[in-house]
């Protein structure tokens, strides 16, 4: 009995010292270190959301958690006019006309995911008392951090399959030391979830191509990765519509890697995408008469889509001018892409090394063909950015892990060609390579801390919203913020005061107006004096108010940075 005990103890000590013990310990310390980096980034960079997209998706998730439907509290005049013209503007029982309207702008998966998490964890939405808002800090950002770590795991697996363990480890280290990765998580938008979906889909693609290279393309080894990858691409598209530009590159890699055998996988992929997106198209056709709501219509107008969202009425939309605008934007997007506009130092190094790999002939077929899929995806993104606006370039961040893997592989290729025999020199060069690409993160973590104000101060927005009942209509230039922080039914500031009167008189009375630095910071001559905001300038200045103006009670906020008007002095209650 004693011998058995001693033998077991010796085996345990052996495994801890020589076997799997050191590997587990090193892995744990590595994960702990990267977790501390993520927490440090959140602690220094999160001071409240400052992305309208993040707040719009969050308020939609809040509505879904409460009603189980994708109803929005952000009332866009363009949406209302379109629904009215299509005969789809209906009133729900016991609710004002503009309440409970279906969202026509956002893709559904991310808001539904957040809303489900809100409901499962019983998330409450109290009045904000500081810059940081609890549901953001303790629910949305942690979920996005988890998505980043899951993405890193599949980046590592993909690196091992395509190249080697050392390439995979170095690449995933740089990935987790990239400011843009954690910035996406802290922003609160869908980009981290989209990144996870895309990296998982590409790992499935690599698995198929690797099996093909070993002549194992049959049965489960082919079908399961195709099914999983197709499902991931479906989720990706229903998370960010612009990601459809990445699908042609995926299909190209399948054809280049599988040859004639690619027809079945591609057919399965297309079938899953079409079947999976059908319920969402049917929903949109039912509520709006268009397959994807008004998202493509607004996006087609690029940088001026804000004007179309705020327009309650017919807009003179000349097809020729729109076509010329698209051509100009495509050429401009191509120029920005070639100039690596606003690319940080770390990403620039990876991109440069990745571009050089096109002049090198890798031995593995899957490594060669993946590059052409990435290139086609990037070219499609350039066209999408020209067609739907420069915001679509954010989808290019999804390509970063693949670019990083290829760049790291080429770095090790050059290092091996140097035939350095001193290990400390090799280790120093690898450390320098990682350090240079982590410089943006180090600089970002340095003071001063960023701020979401102006214009977003969660406590101010929540306090203003508290003056009104949730179903009362508050007109504002940042409805996504009042809808998220205050749960307020919020009308996006119409193009003109005349359109405001049309909505107020014909559809639903407006109970308040909240104008912020978003309006005040607009160009004075082109917007406030001669442009679309000229009719709002007197109201912003509280002098003089238009004749028949229904909101006569009000006061400036923070030295006239903002202004609040209401139908009665509600703040005196």
Number of domain units in the chain:
3
Averaged confidence pLDDT in the chain:
88
Residue 212 lies in a domain: yes
The token duo for 503 is 């909505």
The band of 449, judged by pLDDT with boundaries at 50, 70 and 90, is confident
Q: How far apart are CA 517 and CA 418, in angstroms?
A: 57
**Predicted local confidence at residue 319, as pLDDT:** 46
Q: How far apart are CA 200 and CA 155, in angstroms?
A: 8
Q: How far apart are CA 500 and CA 421, in angstroms?
A: 75
Tell me, yes or no, whether 419 and 511 share the same domain.
no
Bridge-based pairing of strands 71-72 and 553-557 is unpaired
Q: How far apart are CA 240 and CA 309, in angstroms?
A: 19
Nearest Cα to Cα of residue 78 among 298, 402, 345: 298
The answer to whether the beta carbons of residues 334 and 386 sit under 8 Å apart is yes
Residue 517 lies in a domain: yes
**Is pLDDT at 1 greater than 70 in this prediction?**
no
CA 372 to chain centroid, in Å, comes to 25
Tell me, yes or no, whether 514 and 547 share the same domain.
yes
The token duo for 355 is 């571009």
Q: Comparing 98-112, 283-297, 338-352, which segment has the lowest mean pLDDT?
A: 338-352
- Among all chains, which residue has been given the structure tokens 């992929």? 269
Average pLDDT over every residue of 340-368: 79
**Predicted local confidence at residue 323, as pLDDT:** 59
Tell me, yes or no, whether 279 and 387 share the same domain.
yes
Q: Is 56 left (phi over 0), alpha (psi -120 to 50) or beta?
A: alpha
Task: To the nearest 10°, report the CA torsion of 381, 382, 387, 390.
Answer: 90
**Is pLDDT at 117 greater than 80 in this prediction?**
yes
For residue 226, give every residue at least 6 positions away whose Cβ sits within 8 Å of its Cβ, in sequence order, or none: 204, 208, 265, 268, 269
pLDDT tens digit sequence for 291-348: 999 998 888 776 678 889 999 987 765 444 555 656 666 666 666 666 555 445 456 7
Tell me, yes or no, whether 227 and 287 share the same domain.
yes
Residue 14 lies in a domain: yes
Tell me, yes or no, whether 30 and 9 share the same domain.
yes
Nearest Cα to Cα of residue 354 among 387, 396, 417: 396
Tell me, yes or no, whether 433 and 463 share the same domain.
no
**Predicted local confidence at residue 342, as pLDDT:** 46
pTM score > 0.85 for this model?
Answer: yes
**Beta-bridge partner residues of 513:** 475, 565
Domain boundary (388, 417, 445) is at 445
The band of 486, judged by pLDDT with boundaries at 50, 70 and 90, is very high
Residue 441 lies in a domain: yes
Q: How far apart are CA 200 and CA 149, in angstroms?
A: 12
**Is pLDDT at 92 greater than 60 in this prediction?**
yes
**Predicted local confidence at residue 297, as pLDDT:** 86
**Predicted local confidence at residue 261, as pLDDT:** 87
The band of 453, judged by pLDDT with boundaries at 50, 70 and 90, is confident
Domain boundary (445, 476, 506) is at 445
Tell me, yes or no, whether 441 and 549 share the same domain.
no
**What one-character DSSP code corresponds to residue 555?**
E
Residue 99 lies in a domain: no
pLDDT tens digit sequence for 399-448: 999 999 999 999 999 999 999 889 999 999 999 999 999 998 999 999 88
Tell me, yes or no, whether 487 and 437 share the same domain.
no
**Is pLDDT at 352 greater than 90 in this prediction?**
no
Residue 108 lies in a domain: no
**Beta-bridge partner residues of 555:** 564
The token duo for 226 is 């195709």
**Predicted local confidence at residue 248, as pLDDT:** 96
Tell me, yes or no, whether 478 and 511 share the same domain.
yes
Residue 148 CB neighbours (<10 A) = 22
Owning domain of residue 267: 137-445
Instruction: Estimate the share of the chain in helix, then strand, then coil, as percent rounded to the nearest 5.
Output: 65, 5, 30
Nearest Cα to Cα of residue 333 among 391, 399, 388, 382: 382
CA R_g for the chain: 27
Tell me, yes or no, whether 421 and 471 share the same domain.
no
Average pLDDT over every residue of 42-47: 95
Q: Which has more confidence, 23 or 502?
A: 502
Residue 101 lies in a domain: no
Reduced to 3 states, what is the DSSP secondary structure of residue 556? strand
Q: How far apart are CA 54 and CA 472, in angstroms?
A: 23
Residue 533 lies in a domain: yes
pLDDT tens digit sequence for 178-227: 999 999 999 999 999 999 999 999 999 999 998 887 776 566 667 899 99
The helix (run of H) or strand (run of E) holding residue 132 is: none
Tell me, yes or no, whether 160 and 231 share the same domain.
yes
pLDDT tens digit sequence for 225-265: 999 999 999 999 999 999 999 999 999 999 999 988 899 99
Domain boundary (418, 445, 472) is at 445
The answer to whether the beta carbons of residues 205 and 230 sit under 8 Å apart is no
Bridge-based pairing of strands 101-102 and 510-515 is unpaired
**What one-character DSSP code corresponds to residue 364?**
S
**What one-character DSSP code corresponds to residue 130?**
S
DSSP assignment string, 73-104: SEE-HHHHHHHHHTT-----TTS-TTSSEEP-
The token duo for 8 is 């077991």
Average pLDDT over every residue of 10-20: 59
**What one-character DSSP code corresponds to residue 285?**
H
Tell me, yes or no, whether 397 and 481 share the same domain.
no
Average pLDDT over every residue of 142-158: 97
Q: How far apart are CA 291 and CA 400, in angstroms?
A: 31
The answer to whether the beta carbons of residues 385 and 328 sit under 8 Å apart is no
Nearest Cα to Cα of residue 67 among 116, 140, 128, 15: 116
Q: How far apart are CA 12 and CA 18, in angstroms?
A: 10
């Amino acid at each position: 009995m004693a011998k058995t005990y001693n033998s077991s103890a010796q085996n345990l000590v052996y495994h801890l010292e020589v076997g799997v013990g050191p590997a587990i310990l090193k892995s744990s310390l590595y994960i702990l270190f990267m977790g501390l980096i993520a927490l440090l980034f959140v602690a220094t960079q999160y001071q409240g959301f400052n992305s309208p997209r993040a707040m719009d998706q969050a308020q939609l998730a809040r509505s879904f958690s409460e009603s189980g439907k994708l109803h929005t509290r952000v009332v866009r005049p363009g949406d209302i006019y379109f629904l009215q013209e299509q005969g789809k503007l209906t009133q729900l029982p016991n609710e004002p006309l503009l309440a409970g309207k279906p969202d026509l702008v956002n893709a559904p998966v991310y808001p539904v995911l957040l809303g489900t998490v809100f409901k499962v964890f019983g998330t409450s939405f109290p009045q904000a008392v500081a810059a940081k808002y609890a549901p953001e800090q303790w629910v949305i950002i942690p979920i996005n951090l988890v998505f980043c770590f899951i993405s890193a795991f599949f980046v590592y697996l993909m690196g091992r399959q395509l190249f080697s363990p050392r390439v995979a480890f170095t690449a995933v280290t740089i990935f987790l030391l990239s400011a843009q990765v954690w910035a996406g998580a802290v922003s609160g938008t869908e980009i981290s979830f989209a990144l996870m979906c895309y990296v998982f889909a590409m790992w499935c693609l690599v698995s198929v191509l690797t099996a093909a290279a070993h002549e194992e393309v049959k049965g489960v080894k082919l079908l399961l990765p195709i099914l999983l990858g197709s499902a991931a691409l479906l989720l990706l598209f229903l998370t960010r519509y612009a990601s459809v530009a990445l699908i042609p590159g995926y299909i190209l890699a399948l054809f280049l890697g599988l040859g004639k055998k690619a027809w079945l996988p591609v057919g399965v992929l297309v079938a899953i995408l079409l079947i999976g997106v059908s319920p969402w198209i049917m929903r949109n056709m039912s509520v709006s008469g268009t397959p994807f709501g008004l998202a493509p219509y607004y996006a087609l107008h690029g940088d001026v889509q804000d004007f179309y969202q705020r327009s309650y009425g017919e807009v003179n939309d000349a097809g020729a001018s729109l076509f010329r605008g698209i051509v100009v934007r495509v050429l401009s997007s191509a120029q920005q892409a070639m100039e690596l506009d606003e690319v940080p130092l770390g990403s620039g190094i990876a991109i440069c090394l990745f571009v050089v790999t096109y002049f090198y002939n890798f031995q593995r077929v899957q490594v060669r063909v993946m590059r052409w899929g990435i290139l086609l995806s990037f070219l499609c993104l350039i066209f999408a950015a020209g067609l739907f606006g420069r915001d679509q370039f954010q989808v290019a961040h999804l390509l970063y892990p693949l670019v990083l893997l290829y760049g790291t592989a080429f770095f090790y290729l050059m290092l091996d060609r140097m035939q350095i025999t001193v290990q400390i020199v090799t280790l120093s060069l690898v450390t320098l390579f990682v350090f240079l690409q982590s410089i943006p993160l180090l600089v970002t973590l340095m003071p001063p801390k960023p701020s979401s104000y102006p214009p977003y101060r969660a406590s101010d927005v929540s306090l203003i919203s508290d003056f009104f009942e949730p179903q009362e209509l508050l007109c504002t230039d940042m409805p996504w913020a009042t809808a998220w922080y205050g749960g307020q039914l919020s009308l996006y500031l119409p193009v003109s005061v005349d359109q405001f009167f049309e909505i107020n008189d014909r559809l639903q009375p407006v109970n308040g107006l909240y104008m912020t630095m978003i309006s005040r910071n607009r160009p004075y001559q082109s917007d406030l004096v001669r442009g679309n905001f000229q009719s709002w300038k007197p109201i912003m200045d509280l002098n003089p108010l238009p004749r028949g103006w229904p909101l006569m009670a009000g006061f400036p906020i923070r030295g006239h940075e903002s202004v609040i008007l209401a139908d009665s002095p509600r703040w005196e209650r």
